[in-house]
Structure 1
Amino acid sequence: MTPRPVVGRRAIEVLLQAELPQAEGKRLVLVDAAYEDRGRDTEFTVRVDGEHRRVRVTDQESLLGIADAWQRHRTEAAAGQDDVLVVTGQVPADQLGWDLRAHAVRHRPLSVDRAEIVKQLFGATDVDARMSGERWLLDALLEAEPVDGGWPRAGAVLTRDRAVRALLEQRLRLGDTTSDTLDLDADTLFAWSRTPAGPASYAALATAERDGLAAWLTQAVGPAAATLMALAADGRGQDALPLGALASAALSSPSAEASGFALGTLFGQALSSFDELRPFADAATGVLTRWIAQAEGSGAQREDARGRVLDVLDHADRLAADARLSPLIGTDRLLPSGYRARLRDLATLLDGPAGHAEAALRELSEHQLSTVYADSTETACTAVRLLRWLRSPMPAVGSVAQGVHTHMTSSGWADLAVGVLAEGDGSRDGVVSGAYERLIAAARERRARLDEAFAHRLTVWAEGASAQAPGGSLLIENVLAEAAAPLARSGGRPLLLVLDGMSADVAVQLAGELDRRVWTEVVPRPRDGEQATRRAAVSMLPSLTKISRTSLLCGQPEQGGQDKERAGFTAFWKRRHRGRGAQLFHKGGYEGPPGHRLAPELLQALASDDIVGVVLNTIDDALADGREGARGRWRLGDITKLPDLLNAARDYGRPVVLVSDHGHVLDRTPRGHQPAPAEGVGGARWRTGTPGDGEIAVAGPRVRTPGGRAVLPWREDLRYTARQAGYHGGASLAEVTVPVITLVPSAALIPEGWTLLPSERIAPGWWHGEEGSAASAPEPLTGAPAAATTGAGAAAIDAAEETAVTRPEPAAEAAPHPADPAGLGERIVGTELYRAQRQFVRGVQDAKGDRAVAAALDALAAAGGKLSPGAVAAAAQAATGRSQRNAERFATVLERLLNIDGYPVLQLVESGRTVQLNKALLEEQFLGDAG
C-alpha cells in the first residue's frame, strides 16, 4: 500500500476553512492522509465563516474504527451543536460504505494537496509549479506559519523564491518577507552567522529542510553559502567568518599546502571539498573588506564596524594559534597578527637607512587593517618621518634668525614627531616600543646639538638685538606691527589670538586642522628667488609670560600683567592707526555665561570696527596641571573656546593672527629626576649666577631681568624647581621660537604685498618623504643624552657653522615643483584650440595670462596631477608676478578654459581642496597626435 501523506493541525484547519462553508450541516470530514499525532485524538477550535467550530481529529486504520468513531461523536455531541469529526487514516475510499460516506463532506475522503493549502495560506491564486515537487518546502511552510497574522500576502502567484525567503525569515530571522526583490547577499549571510540564535535555529531543523534551504542559499548567494550553512549545522556558525579570513590567509601564503592541512582540521566535515575553499574565502574577505571600509567612516557606525571587524579577526587569529597555523600565514594582509608582524618588521628597520623603513611602511600601509589601526599606522608613519629627519644633513645654525626659522619649518616638526612617538603604540609590542624609544633618544640628542648651537648664537645676538637692530629676526614686540597691522589696513579688523605657551610643534598641529575651504594662510611676499614660508618671532629673554606676552601685546619691550597688556594693546593701535579702537580679552572675560558660547561683550567687540585680541591660556595652564603628561598631541577642540572664536571671526569677516608669546619644553626625564642645584633661581628655567654645563649667560636690552643678565638652560632636561608637565623660560629653540600664523577668511582680505601660502609648502620635505630629503648614509641611533653634546662636539658644531649664511634660509622647505621638461604648459597655450578658447574666458587674455596657465599646468604635471588651489595659484604668481589673490577663482578659470565640451580635463575635487589634472586627457584634447 502506498503510504499516505502526513498532515498536521494547520493543514486540517485550512482544509476545514475551505470545505465547511460549502458543506452546510456536514459534521464528518474524511481525510486521505495520516495525522502527525497518530495514536491519540486531538481537539481544537477552528474559525469558519466568522464562527468557531469545535474539531476533534482521530486517526483510524480500519473501516470499523471509522464507523465507531463517527457513532461515538454523534452520541457524545450535545444537541444543537455542530462539532466536527475529522477522521484520518489508511482505509481506501472504495472500502467505505455509502451509509458512512453520506454523512461526509463531499461524500468521500478528501485528499490533502500541500501546494493548495500553502497557496491559501499566502492568499495567492496560483503557486509556482516547482514547489509541488518540493515536499520539504511545503511541509516547512505549513509547520512554520506565523501564529500572529499568518504568512504575508504574496499577490496573484506565490513564487518559489518568495516562499523560501518567507521561510528563512520565520525560521532563521534571515531576510525580509516584505520585500519583492531578492535581498540576501554574502554580507547578510555572514552577519547572520554571528547572531546567537540564527545558526542554532538552523541546526535544529529537520535534515531535509536544512538541505533545501542550503541549496537555495547556495544558488542565491553563491557557493560560499554551502560551507557557511554546513558550519552552522555543525554548531559553528560563529566560526564562519573567522574561518573564511583564515582560508584567505592560508591560500595566499607561501606554505599553502601545509596550511591547507591545518585548515582541513579546522573546517572538519563542513568542508566537503577543497574546491569550496576559494569561493568561501573570497566571500568572507569581501564582507570583511566592506566592513573595514565602514570602519573608516565617523561616529557610532565607525566604532560599530571597527568592533565587528576586530572581533572576527581576533577570533581568526585565536583559531590559527590553536591549529598551529600562525607561523604559516606570517604577515597576511588581513589578519591582526599580520599587521603586528609588519609593524614589528618596520620597527626593526628604524635603526638603519630610511629607505628600508619606508619600504616597510608601505607594506604596513597596504595591510587592510592599516585604517582600522589608524593611530598605530600614523605613529609608524611618524617614526619613519622622524627617521628621515635624522638621516638628513644636520642643519647649521648660522644665526638666531635662521635657527628660529628652521625650527618653525623643520625641527619643530621633529618635536611634533617625538611627541607622537612618546605616547607609545597601542600594540604594546616590546620590539616596537623599544625601537620608538631609541628613535626618540636619537632625535633628542640631535635636537640638543641644535639647541646648543642656537644658544651660542643667542648669547652673542642678545647683547645688541633690538627693534633697530633685529639681526634679521622678527622680534616678538614687532609682531603687531609686522603681522597684525598689515591686516588692519583699509579698515581691516584682525582678531589676534594669543595662545600662551604655544610652541612650534603645537602650532603646526592646530594650523593643520583648519578648514582650508574657509581659511587661507597668508605671508608677506618673499624676495625674488625665495620661497614663501611660515614666520616665527623671537621671544624676550627669559621666555616668560610676564615679559614676552606683555611685550607682544604692547608692541614694545615691556613687563607686567593683564592691566599693562590691556593698556599697551589699546595704546599701540591708537598710536599706530590714528585713534583706532582696540579691545583685549583675557581669561574670564571672553567665556560666555550659561547659554552663551562667548561673552556678549566679546561678540559686540567683534561686530564693531575695533581691533580685538583674546588671550587663551589652555596650553600654558596644561604645563602645570599635567595634561601633556598623558599625550602630546593638540587639536583645535582642546583649546578652550578656540573653535568658537575662529567661527566668530569667520562670521564677522575678520582675519586672524594665531600667535604665541613663547614656547615650551616637556618634561621627559625619568621619574625621580631632581631639580638641578643652582643659585639665584628665578623660575623653572632661569636663574642668575654663573652658567654651568648645558647653560648660557645672556645679557642685553632683550634680557628683562634685574640687572639685564640671566643664566638660561638650553638642555631640555634642566630645571630648577619642582616637577611639572613642562616648562618655559630657557634658551632652547622650542621655548624661544614664537609661531606667527596669519589667516584670512576671504581672498579679498589679503594685504597688499602679501601672498597665500600653499599647503604643499608648509611641511618640510622630509615630512612627506620628498626625494632627496634624506641622506643615504645612516647615522647611528646612539640615543646619547642631551648633556653629552659638549666639548669636542660643541667645537665641531661651531666649526660647521663658520660657513653658514646669516639670514634665514628655507632649508627644510619643500622644493618648488620644477617646470615640465617637455614644456607641457607652453605647448598647450601655443595651440590654436587654446587661443580660440581663451577668447571666451576673462582673466587670461594676454601674454601674462598664458604664462600663468602654462606655469599652473607644469606645476600640476610635476606633482602628479594634484595640488591645492593655493599651490596652483602660487605657481602662476611666481611665473608672472601677477597676484592671484583668490586661488579657488583662478582654479575655476582654469576649469572653464580647459574643460572643452564638458570633458573633465581639470577639476576641483575633495570639496574644493584639491585641483586635479587629467594629463592624458589634456594632451588628447589640445595636442592630439602631437601629444
Structure 2
Amino acid sequence: MSAAQLLLRRLLDQAGGASETGYVLVIDGEGLESLPAQMPTPKGVCGVHRVASELGLRHLLWKAKGAPLIAVMPEDVARRIQSAPDLLRRARNQRVHALSVNDVLEVVLGVRVVGADAPHMQQLALENVERLGLAMSHRTLPTVVDRRLLTELLVDVSVGEQVRTRSAAQLLAAWVQEPPRWSANVSQLVRDAMPSLHGDEGRLLAWALAEPDARLRDLVMYGAVLTVEAAELPKPAWGPLWKAATEPPIEMDRRILRRTVARLAEETLSLLGDGGADLLAGADRVGRGSLTPTQLQTSRVLPLAFADRCHALAQQAASGKAISAADISWLSSHRAARINRADLAVLESMARISRYLDQPFSPRADLLEQVREYQRGSAFVDLAMLQLRRALASSVHYHAEANKLLMACRERRDRENRHFAETLAGGYEAALHRDGLTPLHRIWKRTVAPLWQSEPDARLFLVVLDGCSYPVFLELLYSLAQDSAFPIGIKPDASGRVHGLPALSPLPTVTSHARGAIFLGELPSDPLVAETVFRDQDEAKTDKARFNQNAALGSRSRKLFLKGDLADGGQGLLSALEDESYSVVGVVFNAVDDQIGSSNTGATVKISPEDITAFKPALRVALKSRRRVLITADHGHSPYIDKSLRSGNGKTPRYTALGKHDAVPEGFIEIDVAGLGGPPERRAFAWRSGAYLGGPQVGFHGGCGLEEVVVPLAWIERDGLYADEPAWWYGRGTLAELSVPAAPVQPPIVTPLPSDEVPAKAKAKAQLSLFNPADKAGSLPLPAALIEKLSVDERSILVLLRETGSARASELAERLKKNPGRLNGLMRALRRTLHAEGHVLFSDEVLPSGETMYRYQSKPKNQGAR
C-alpha cells in the first residue's frame, strides 16, 4: 500500500471510518502528491478525486450521485468552501479534513510520532520526509518517536551524522575553520539538539552557532585564556562568555563554565595543530591585556605562557640554577610546544647541562675512575652541549643564556680535562697500561683473547669509527638501539648496567699512530704522519700491512676494508662477512673524521647510522652470520668553539713539539710519552676543549682531552640496549639526593591483606626478613629442633599467619607461588607434624565461598591435643 493510500485511510478514520455514501473533504498536503483513482474500504470502493475549484467540487458531487468519495483540494479552495454552508453540511463531520505533521510522519515512519510541534521542526520534517523514512529504516524501530529522537533524525538528514557521532571538540575544530552556512530552520534545529547530544559542551556550541562567524572563534580564544591556573579572573578575560553564562542556552555556574570551555578549547587546539596558531595569537593578545604575567605563566595552552616560562627557565639556568625534569615535562605537555619545537629543544639541552653542573665536582685520583666518570657522565654532557649547539642553530631565542651556560659547562669540563691530563703527565706509560683499562694496542690481548679462549672458533667483525668521540658514539648507539626492525646495542653486564669498556687512545691521538696501534697490536714506532698526508698516501698501504703483521691474530685468516674498498657500496665487505673462511674481518668507516676535517665551522658533527655507507648493513649481516661484533674508534675529537681559543700557529692542531726552552702554549700541558708516541722529544698536548693551533675546522684531535683519549669500545649484539644515562640526564636533583637510602617497607603486622607481590631473590642478609618469611621462624613459639624439621614452605606459612593473624588459602598459595589445590594438603601435613609434638598454632574454617580461612592461635603444649 502506498503512502498516499495510508494517508487517505488515516483521513477516513478521522472522518468516522468507511461509509457506503457521503463524501470527505481533504486539504492537499505532504504525501498526497500521487493519488490513487480508488480507495477500497470494507464498505465498498471509495473514489478519490482532486478538485481545483468550488464549481469543480459541485460538478463532482452531482456526477457521484451519493457514491462515497474523497475530494482533495488546495488550501485556498478549502477556505472558499468554508463560505458554502451547503457543501460543508453534507460533508462527513461537516468540515474539511487535513493531515497534521505527526500524521504524515507516523505513516512514513511506521510508528507513533509525538512532539513535532515547533514550526521549524514541522517544516524540516515535511521537507525531508522521505529521507526520514530511510534514516529510520537503519535503526531499531522504537515504540514511539519523541521530540528528542525526531530531532536527532532531522539533524542526521539535514546536516549529516557527524554532528551526532563526532565529539564537541571535533565539531568546533571543523566549524572554526569553515563556519557552517545553514538555513535558519537548520541552524535552530542544530542548536536545539546540541545540549542533548553533547551535554555542557553542546550548550556552548549552541551559543556559538547563533553567530558562528564570531562566536566560534571567541569560544576557542577565550577558552584558551581561561586555562590559566588562577582562582579568580577579571571580566575582560572572559570576553562575551561572562554575559553568556547567565543567558540561554548556556545558563551555567561560571566555575563549571570555565572548566568546560577551557577543556573544550584545549581539545580543539590539539586537533587543529598548527592550524590554530592564529587563534592562539588572539588568545595571547587577550591574555596580555587582561592578565598579570604570573597568571599567564600558569596556562598550558597560551603560547605567551610557554614563551614566558621558557625565558624564565633559560635565565634560571644561566644564573647557575638547575632546570628540573618537571619543568621540561610541563613545557613538553604545553599546547604551544608543537609550534615551538626549536625553542623546546634548546631548553631540553640547557636543562640537562644545568643539572650536570648541579652535581658536586669531586675529581678522582685513580685514572680508571676518571675514565669511567667520563663514559657514564661527562660524555653525556658533551653530547648535551653538541645537541644544544644544533638546537640554537634552529632557534632565534635564548642564545645569550645558552652561551653563558655553555661557557660554565666548558669551564667544568676543562677542570676535568686538566685533572686527567695531569694524571697522564704524572706517569704516562703506567697510566696507559693500567689494569682495568684497554689501550688500543691491547685490544687483541685484553678484549679479544678472552673471547677466543672460551670460544676458539668465534669469528670476529672489528669496526673502527675514525675520529668518533664518545658523545658521537652514544648518539650512533641510540639510533641503532631504536631501530625496531633490527635493534642493535650493548648487552647489560652482570649487574644490569649498560656501558662500554674503558679504553684509551695513545698520545698523540692522531690517525697514523692510533689506528696503527689497533691493527698492529703494538704501539707503532714509525714517525708521526700528518693527517692529510696519511689519509691521501699511506692509509691503504700502512693499515693493511700492519693488520697482516698482527702477531695476536696468529694464523687466523683476516681481511681489512678501508675507505677505498667501500667504493662499491660495501658489497665486498658484506660478502666477506658472510664468508666463513675469514676468521677476522675489519673495517674502517671514515664518516666522522671526514666531517671534523672540514673547515665548515658553522656546522656541528651530526651523523646517523644511515649516513655511513654500508655501516648498518654490515652490522646486520655480521650478526646474522653469527660473528661477534666489536666496535671502537682510533681517537675522538674536540669540537671547534670559536677563534678565541686559537693558541698560535702549528701544523698539528692539538699537539706540538717543543724546543729545549720553548714555553707550553696556553691550554696545553707537557707530557713525556717516553717514546711511546713517535720519536722522543718534548711535546705539549692540548687539554682545554676547543683549543687549537693553526687554522679552524669542525673538530680537532691529537690532544689529551677526555673527549679525544677516551674512545668507545663495546661488544654489540642484536636486541642490545642503549648506554645507561646518568641520573641527571632525566632527573632533576643532585647525586646527593640519590644517595639517601630508602627506608625498608615492613610487612603488615595485624591486618590480614592479600599480597600479589612477587618475592625478589635475596641478595643480602638484610633483605631476607623482607622477602623470605622462613628466616623469621626463630620467633615462633616452637622448639628449635621442631623448627628444623619443618620445610621452608611450612616455616613461611607459620610466620605469615603469625604476622597477619589470618589468611585465606589462596593468599598463602600466592605468597608461596604454589597451586592453591595443593596448599590444603600441605596445611594438613603441617597440622599433623605440630600435633605430634603437642602444638597447635592455627585453626581453619570453611568460608561460604568454599575457600578455607586459616587463623593463627598459639596454645601451650599438650592443650591442643585431642
TM-score over 0.5 (shorter chain):
yes
Is 1:343 aligned to residue 330 of structure 2?
no
Q: Can you give the 5+ residue segments of structure 2 that lack an aligned partner in the other structure?
A: 13-22, 37-49, 61-70, 527-537, 750-754, 772-812, 821-853, 858-866
Alignment partner of 2:385 out of 408, 418, 421: 418
| TM-aligned CA distance change 1:501 to 1:100, over 3 Å | farther
What is the 5 A alignment of 1:503-522? 503-515=469-481, 521-522=490-491
How much does 1:264 deviate?
3.5
CA distance in 1 between partners of 2:364 and 2:479 (Å): 30
Is 1:214 aligned to residue 191 of structure 2?
yes
Secondary structure of the residue that 1:684 maps to in structure 2? coil
Is 1:124 aligned to residue 109 of structure 2?
yes
1:685 equivalent in structure 2: 654
Alignment partner of 1:164 out of 136, 151, 155: 151
CA distance in 2 between partners of 1:71 and 1:354 (Å): 102
What is the 5 A alignment of 1:759-778? 762-769=724-731, 772-773=734-735
Deviates more, 1:557-566 or 1:420-429: 420-429
1:263 equivalent in structure 2: 238
CA distance in 2 between partners of 1:857 and 1:534 (Å): 36
Which deviations, in whole Å up to 9, do the C-alpha atoms of 1:181-231 show, x marking residues without a partner?
x63433333334334043x43xx424xx54443232202211222222222
What is the 5 A alignment of 1:454-853? 454-462=420-428, 464=429, 469-470=433-434, 473-488=437-452, 489-490=454-455, 491-515=457-481, 521-522=490-491, 534-558=500-524, 560-569=538-547, 571-572=549-550, 575-576=551-552, 578-587=554-563, 589=565, 599=571, 601-603=573-575, 605-606=577-578, 608=580, 610-625=583-598, 629-630=602-603, 635-669=608-642, 676-678=647-649, 681-689=650-658, 690=662, 691-700=664-673, 704-705=677-678, 710-745=683-718, 762-769=724-731, 772-773=734-735, 821=744, 850-851=762-763
CA distance in 1 between partners of 2:130 and 2:51 (Å): 38
CA distance in 1 between partners of 2:56 and 2:197 (Å): 49
Q: Is the contact made by 1:452 and 1:714 (CA closer than 8 Å) also made in structure 2?
A: yes
Q: Which amino acid aligns with 1:185?
A: S
CA distance in 2 between partners of 1:318 and 1:622 (Å): 46
CA distance in 1 between partners of 2:746 and 2:556 (Å): 51
Alignment partner of 2:117 out of 133, 143, 150: 133
Q: Is the contact made by 1:245 and 1:284 (CA closer than 8 Å) also made in structure 2?
A: yes
Secondary structure of the residue that 1:246 maps to in structure 2? helix
Which deviations, in whole Å up to 9, do the C-alpha atoms of 1:228-256 show, x marking residues without a partner?
22222212354155246335325x314x2
Q: Is the contact made by 1:354 and 1:387 (CA closer than 8 Å) also made in structure 2?
A: yes
How much does 1:328 deviate?
4.8
| TM-aligned CA distance change 1:153 to 1:552, over 3 Å | same
| TM-aligned CA distance change 1:694 to 1:184, over 3 Å | closer
CA distance in 1 between partners of 2:159 and 2:302 (Å): 30
1:390 equivalent in structure 2: 357
Secondary structure of the residue that 1:584 maps to in structure 2? strand
| TM-aligned CA distance change 1:524 to 1:144, over 3 Å | closer
| TM-aligned CA distance change 1:452 to 1:604, over 3 Å | closer
| TM-aligned CA distance change 1:508 to 1:306, over 3 Å | farther
1:232 equivalent in structure 2: 209
| TM-aligned CA distance change 1:742 to 1:824, over 3 Å | farther
Q: Which amino acid aligns with 2:511?
A: T
Which deviations, in whole Å up to 9, do the C-alpha atoms of 1:264-294 show, x marking residues without a partner?
44666587267354444434444566679xx
Which deviations, in whole Å up to 9, do the C-alpha atoms of 1:637-691 show, x marking residues without a partner?
4555444344434433444323111111222216xx696542xx33333443443
Q: Which amino acid aligns with 2:710?
A: T
1:890 equivalent in structure 2: none
Alignment partner of 2:127 out of 118, 121, 143: 143
Alignment partner of 1:196 out of 178, 185, 188: 178
Is 1:114 aligned to residue 101 of structure 2?
yes
Q: Is the contact made by 1:589 and 1:599 (CA closer than 8 Å) also made in structure 2?
A: no
Q: Which amino acid aligns with 1:407?
A: Y
Q: Is the contact made by 2:596 and 2:697 (CA closer than 8 Å) also made in structure 1?
A: yes
| TM-aligned CA distance change 1:350 to 1:834, over 3 Å | closer
Secondary structure of the residue that 1:216 maps to in structure 2? helix
CA distance in 2 between partners of 1:29 and 1:437 (Å): 95
| TM-aligned CA distance change 1:271 to 1:618, over 3 Å | farther
Secondary structure of the residue that 2:522 maps to in structure 1? coil
What is the 5 A alignment of 1:894-909? none
Q: Is the contact made by 1:686 and 1:710 (CA closer than 8 Å) also made in structure 2?
A: yes
Q: Is the contact made by 1:193 and 1:232 (CA closer than 8 Å) also made in structure 2?
A: no
| TM-aligned CA distance change 1:451 to 1:386, over 3 Å | same
Alignment partner of 2:298 out of 312, 323, 331: 331
Across the aligned residues of Structure 1 and Structure 2, the Cα RMSD in angstroms comes to 5.4
CA distance in 1 between partners of 2:333 and 2:819 (Å): 38
Matched residues, percent identical?
19
Alignment coverage as a number of residue pairs: 716
| TM-aligned CA distance change 1:536 to 1:271, over 3 Å | farther
Which deviations, in whole Å up to 9, do the C-alpha atoms of 1:602-644 show, x marking residues without a partner?
1552463633333222222222457884556655445554443
* TM-score, L = length of structure 2: 0.68
| TM-aligned CA distance change 1:557 to 1:147, over 3 Å | same
Q: Which amino acid aligns with 2:127?
A: E
Return the structure number with greater relative CO, CA threshold 8 A, min gap 6: 1
Q: Is the contact made by 1:667 and 1:717 (CA closer than 8 Å) also made in structure 2?
A: yes
CA distance in 2 between partners of 1:854 and 1:372 (Å): 52
Alignment partner of 1:242 out of 216, 220, 224: 220
Is 1:91 aligned to residue 79 of structure 2?
yes
Which deviations, in whole Å up to 9, do the C-alpha atoms of 1:708-757 show, x marking residues without a partner?
6544333334333443222222232212221212233489xxxxxxxxxx
Q: Is the contact made by 1:408 and 1:504 (CA closer than 8 Å) also made in structure 2?
A: yes
How much does 1:369 deviate?
5.8
Is 1:320 aligned to residue 287 of structure 2?
yes
Secondary structure of the residue that 2:712 maps to in structure 1? strand
2:795 equivalent in structure 1: none
1:42 equivalent in structure 2: none
Secondary structure of the residue that 1:451 maps to in structure 2? helix
Q: Which amino acid aligns with 1:773?
A: L
CA distance in 1 between partners of 2:464 and 2:394 (Å): 38
Q: Which amino acid aligns with 2:418?
A: E
Q: Is the contact made by 1:618 and 1:639 (CA closer than 8 Å) also made in structure 2?
A: yes
| TM-aligned CA distance change 1:555 to 1:117, over 3 Å | farther
CA distance in 1 between partners of 2:161 and 2:258 (Å): 22
Secondary structure of the residue that 2:75 maps to in structure 1? strand
Q: Which amino acid aligns with 1:236?
A: A
CA distance in 2 between partners of 1:499 and 1:646 (Å): 13
Q: Which amino acid aligns with 2:559?
A: Q
Which deviations, in whole Å up to 9, do the C-alpha atoms of 1:856-894 show, x marking residues without a partner?
9989xxxxxxxxxxxxxxxxxxxxxxxxxxxxxxxxxxx
Q: Which amino acid aligns with 1:662?
A: H
How much does 1:492 deviate?
2.9
